[in-house]
């Protein structure tokens, strides 16, 4: 195959390259001359196709998504040693064990009475902005609970822009909340999370490494961030614990 571009003639295209060139011309609606020119510009790093941009975007989305997930996990279950102190980690420096409520729960499940006891273990000034956090497995069980009158504790948000609630309080679902329902394990939390403080000492930044992987036609990314976090007022939280 031979392609002529202005005064430049290119010969010796192998079958694989010819097939790729014809496919590019077809996808982009270009002549073979313009498709060959586009290929050369991309090879010289003068132009990037949409496929390349999509790969970069997906890579960065994945990087940032992993970072967000790591933070969420640390804020919930972090040990406080070299990482944030999570709300499900009992500590005198965060939420102590005197904020655990197990009465009304069984050894394997959250009970209706257990949720009621947890809600009213929280002082009124914190209830106004309090939110539950549960794993989706816990929510599945709570969804089926009823009070003494046979009414579901779960109240669906029937009004536009009004979320579902549990005992009148909003909830959040996290994959990093506990979901091992056995004796003495935590199963959820209720709290005013304005008393969970997060300190960012270095905002999230991305360094692009264009040269390091140039030989393999790849781009590297390094994400950096420094932060710490912990509960600052134990009485603003109540942990739901199994009996």
Whether 69 shows a pLDDT value over 80: the answer reads yes
Instruction: Please state, in angstroms and rounded to a whole number, the distance separating the CA atoms of residues 166 and 151.
Output: 12
Give the pLDDT confidence of 194-240 residue by residue, as tens digits. Answer: 999 999 877 777 788 878 877 787 888 887 778 899 999 999 999 99
Q: Which of 64, 190, 54, 44 is nearest to 126 (CA)?
A: 190
Q: How far is CA 159 from CA 155, 156, 167, 169, in A?
A: 11, 9, 16, 15
If we measure between CA atoms, which residue out of 69, 79, 65 comes closest to residue 230?
A: 79
Mean model confidence pLDDT for the chain: 83
| Mean pLDDT of the 122-133 span | 96
Sheet order of strands, 131-134 included: 100-101, 237-241, 186-191, 131-134, 169-173, 165-166, 154-155
Residue 161 has phi, psi (to 5 degrees) of 70, 10
Q: What is the pLDDT of residues 79-111, one digit of tens each?
A: 999 999 999 999 999 999 999 999 999 999 999
Domains assigned to the chain: 1-47 (no CATH), 58-199+227-241 (3.30.2320.10)
Instruction: With beta carbons less than 8 A apart as the criterion, state whether 178 and 139 touch.
Output: no
Average pLDDT over residues 143-165: 73
Assign 3-class secondary structure to 95-126. Answer: ECHHHEECCCCCCCCCCHHHHHHHHCCCCHHH
Q: How far apart are CA 144 and CA 146, in angstroms?
A: 7
Which parts of 8-86 fold into alpha helices (H)? 15-28, 32-43, 50-77
Asked if 94 and 85 count as a contact pair (C-beta separation under 8 A), the reply is yes
**Which residue(s) pair with 239 in the sheet?**
100, 189
Which of 121-125, 136-140, 202-206, 207-211 is least confident?
A: 202-206
């Amino acid at each position: 195959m031979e392609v002529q571009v202005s005064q430049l003639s290119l010969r010796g295209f192998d079958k694989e390259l010819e097939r790729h060139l014809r496919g590019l011309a077809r996808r982009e609606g270009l002549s073979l001359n313009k498709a060959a020119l586009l290929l050369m510009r991309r090879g010289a790093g003068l132009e990037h196709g949409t496929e390349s941009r999509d790969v970069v975007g997906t890579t960065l989305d994945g990087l940032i998504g992993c970072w967000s997930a790591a933070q969420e996990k640390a804020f919930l279950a972090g040990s406080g040693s070299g990482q944030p102190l999570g709300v499900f980690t009992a500590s005198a420096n965060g939420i102590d064990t005197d904020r655990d409520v197990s009465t009304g729960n069984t050894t394997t499940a959250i009970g209706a009475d257990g949720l009621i006891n947890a809600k009213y273990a929280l002082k009124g000034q914190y209830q106004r902005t309090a939110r539950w956090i549960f794993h989706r497995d816990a929510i599945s069980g709570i969804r089926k609970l009823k009070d003494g009158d046979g009414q579901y504790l779960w109240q669906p948000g029937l009004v536009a822009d009004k979320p579902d609630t549990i005992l009148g309080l909003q909830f959040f679902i996290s994959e990093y909340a506990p979901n091992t329902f056995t004796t003495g394990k935590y199963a959820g939390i209720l709290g005013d999370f304005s008393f969970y403080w997060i300190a960012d000492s270095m905002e999230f930044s991305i360094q692009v490494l264009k040269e390091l992987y140039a030989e393999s036609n790849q781009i590297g990314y390094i994400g950096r961030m420094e932060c710490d976090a912990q509960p600052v007022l134990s009485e603003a939280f109540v942990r739901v614990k199994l009996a």
